[in-house]
Protein backbone atom coordinates (compact mmCIF):
# COMPACT_ATOMS: atom_id res chain seq x y z
CA UNK A 1 0.00 0.00 0.00
CA UNK A 2 1.38 3.40 -0.94
CA UNK A 3 1.10 6.61 1.03
CA UNK A 4 -1.87 7.84 -1.01
CA UNK A 5 -3.84 4.68 -0.14
CA UNK A 6 -2.81 4.93 3.51
CA UNK A 7 -4.07 8.52 3.73
CA UNK A 8 -7.24 7.64 1.86
CA UNK A 9 -7.97 4.62 4.04
CA UNK A 10 -7.44 6.61 7.26
CA UNK A 11 -8.86 9.94 6.04
CA UNK A 12 -11.43 10.29 8.83
CA UNK A 13 -8.86 9.34 11.46
CA UNK A 14 -6.45 11.95 10.05
CA UNK A 15 -9.15 14.63 10.23
CA UNK A 16 -10.13 13.61 13.77
CA UNK A 17 -6.53 13.66 15.02
CA UNK A 18 -5.89 16.97 13.26
CA UNK A 19 -9.01 18.59 14.78
CA UNK A 20 -8.16 17.39 18.28
CA UNK A 21 -4.63 18.74 18.07
CA UNK A 22 -5.59 22.03 16.42
CA UNK A 23 -8.30 22.65 19.02
CA UNK A 24 -5.47 23.12 21.54
CA UNK A 25 -4.42 26.30 19.70
CA UNK A 26 -5.99 29.36 21.31
CA UNK A 27 -7.46 30.89 18.16
CA UNK A 28 -8.94 27.58 16.98
CA UNK A 29 -10.90 26.95 20.17
CA UNK A 30 -13.70 29.33 19.27
CA UNK A 31 -14.25 28.13 15.70
CA UNK A 32 -17.24 26.06 14.67
CA UNK A 33 -16.51 22.58 13.35
CA UNK A 34 -17.22 23.78 9.81
CA UNK A 35 -14.92 26.81 10.09
CA UNK A 36 -12.18 24.78 11.69
CA UNK A 37 -12.12 21.97 9.16
CA UNK A 38 -12.70 24.36 6.27
CA UNK A 39 -10.51 23.20 3.37
CA UNK A 40 -8.54 20.42 5.04
CA UNK A 41 -10.56 17.57 3.44
CA UNK A 42 -9.99 19.11 0.00
CA UNK A 43 -6.30 19.50 0.79
CA UNK A 44 -6.10 15.82 1.78
CA UNK A 45 -7.80 14.86 -1.48
CA UNK A 46 -5.31 16.98 -3.40
CA UNK A 47 -2.35 15.43 -1.58
CA UNK A 48 -3.66 11.93 -2.33
CA UNK A 49 -4.11 12.80 -6.02
CA UNK A 50 -0.66 14.38 -6.11
CA UNK A 51 0.95 11.28 -4.58
CA UNK A 52 -0.81 9.03 -7.08
CA UNK A 53 -0.01 11.01 -10.19
CA UNK A 54 2.02 14.15 -9.79
CA UNK A 55 1.05 15.42 -13.24
CA UNK A 56 -2.67 14.78 -12.76
CA UNK A 57 -3.03 16.94 -9.66
CA UNK A 58 -2.99 20.57 -10.69
CA UNK A 59 -0.64 22.64 -8.53
CA UNK A 60 -3.02 25.59 -8.94
CA UNK A 61 -5.62 23.64 -6.97
CA UNK A 62 -3.47 23.61 -3.86
CA UNK A 63 -2.55 27.24 -4.36
CA UNK A 64 -6.24 28.18 -4.44
CA UNK A 65 -6.97 26.08 -1.33
CA UNK A 66 -4.00 27.68 0.46
CA UNK A 67 -5.10 31.19 -0.47
CA UNK A 68 -8.70 30.64 0.57
CA UNK A 69 -7.59 29.10 3.86
CA UNK A 70 -5.26 32.04 4.57
CA UNK A 71 -7.98 34.54 3.66
CA UNK A 72 -10.44 32.84 6.00
CA UNK A 73 -7.97 32.67 8.87
CA UNK A 74 -7.21 36.39 8.52
CA UNK A 75 -10.96 36.94 8.83
CA UNK A 76 -11.01 34.70 11.91
CA UNK A 77 -8.29 36.92 13.46
CA UNK A 78 -5.69 34.15 13.58
CA UNK A 79 -2.07 35.12 13.65
CA UNK A 80 0.39 33.69 11.15
CA UNK A 81 2.02 31.41 13.71
CA UNK A 82 -1.27 29.66 14.37
CA UNK A 83 -2.03 29.27 10.67
CA UNK A 84 1.38 27.66 10.21
CA UNK A 85 0.80 25.49 13.27
CA UNK A 86 -2.38 24.13 11.69
CA UNK A 87 -0.37 23.01 8.69
CA UNK A 88 2.44 21.66 10.89
CA UNK A 89 -0.12 19.60 12.81
CA UNK A 90 -1.43 18.18 9.53
CA UNK A 91 2.11 17.20 8.54
CA UNK A 92 2.67 15.62 11.98
CA UNK A 93 -0.57 13.63 11.75
CA UNK A 94 0.24 12.38 8.25
CA UNK A 95 3.82 11.46 9.14
CA UNK A 96 2.59 9.83 12.34
CA UNK A 97 0.18 7.70 10.34
CA UNK A 98 3.04 6.62 8.08
CA UNK A 99 5.27 5.85 11.09
CA UNK A 100 2.51 3.68 12.58
CA UNK A 101 1.94 1.79 9.33
CA UNK A 102 4.99 2.12 7.07
CA UNK A 103 4.00 -0.92 4.99
CA UNK A 104 4.60 -0.33 1.31
CA UNK A 105 5.24 3.40 1.59
CA UNK A 106 8.40 4.44 -0.19
CA UNK A 107 10.74 7.15 1.10
CA UNK A 108 10.16 8.98 -2.21
CA UNK A 109 6.44 9.29 -1.37
CA UNK A 110 7.21 10.77 2.05
CA UNK A 111 9.65 13.22 0.49
CA UNK A 112 7.01 14.19 -2.08
CA UNK A 113 4.39 14.70 0.63
CA UNK A 114 6.78 17.00 2.49
CA UNK A 115 7.55 18.98 -0.66
CA UNK A 116 3.89 19.42 -1.47
CA UNK A 117 3.13 20.51 2.09
CA UNK A 118 6.07 22.94 1.94
CA UNK A 119 4.50 24.48 -1.18
CA UNK A 120 1.17 24.80 0.63
CA UNK A 121 2.90 26.51 3.57
CA UNK A 122 4.70 28.95 1.26
CA UNK A 123 1.52 29.95 -0.58
CA UNK A 124 -0.50 30.19 2.63
CA UNK A 125 2.17 32.35 4.30
CA UNK A 126 2.42 34.68 1.33
CA UNK A 127 -1.34 35.09 1.05
CA UNK A 128 -1.75 35.60 4.78
CA UNK A 129 0.91 38.32 4.77
CA UNK A 130 -0.67 39.88 1.69
CA UNK A 131 -4.08 40.01 3.41
CA UNK A 132 -2.64 41.55 6.58
CA UNK A 133 -0.76 44.19 4.60
CA UNK A 134 -3.91 45.03 2.63
CA UNK A 135 -5.94 45.22 5.84
CA UNK A 136 -3.48 47.81 7.15
CA UNK A 137 -3.56 49.92 4.02
CA UNK A 138 -0.46 48.76 2.16
CA UNK A 139 -0.53 49.81 -1.48
CA UNK A 140 -1.54 47.12 -3.97
CA UNK A 141 1.92 47.27 -5.56
CA UNK A 142 3.45 46.20 -2.24
CA UNK A 143 1.26 43.13 -1.96
CA UNK A 144 1.71 42.20 -5.61
CA UNK A 145 5.50 42.39 -5.23
CA UNK A 146 5.27 39.39 -2.89
CA UNK A 147 4.84 37.07 -5.86
CA UNK A 148 2.02 35.08 -7.41
What is each CA distance from 73 to 38, 83, 106, 109, 143, in whole angstroms? 10, 7, 34, 29, 18
DSSP 65-92: HHHHHHHHHHHTT--HHHHHHHHHHHHH
Query: Would you identify the CATH topology of the domain 3-144?
Result: Globin-like (1.10.490)
**Model confidence pLDDT, tens digit, residues 91-136:** 999 999 999 988 889 999 999 999 999 988 988 888 888 888 887 7
| pTM given for the model | 0.86
The pLDDT score that the predictor gives to residue 112 is: 92
Measured CA to CA, the distance from residue 64 to residue 77 in angstroms comes to: 20
Amino acid sequence: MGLSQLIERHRQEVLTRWKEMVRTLSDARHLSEERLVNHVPDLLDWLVARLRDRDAADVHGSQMLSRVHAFQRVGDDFDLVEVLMELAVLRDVLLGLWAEQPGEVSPAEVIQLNRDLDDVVAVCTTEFARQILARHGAPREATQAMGP
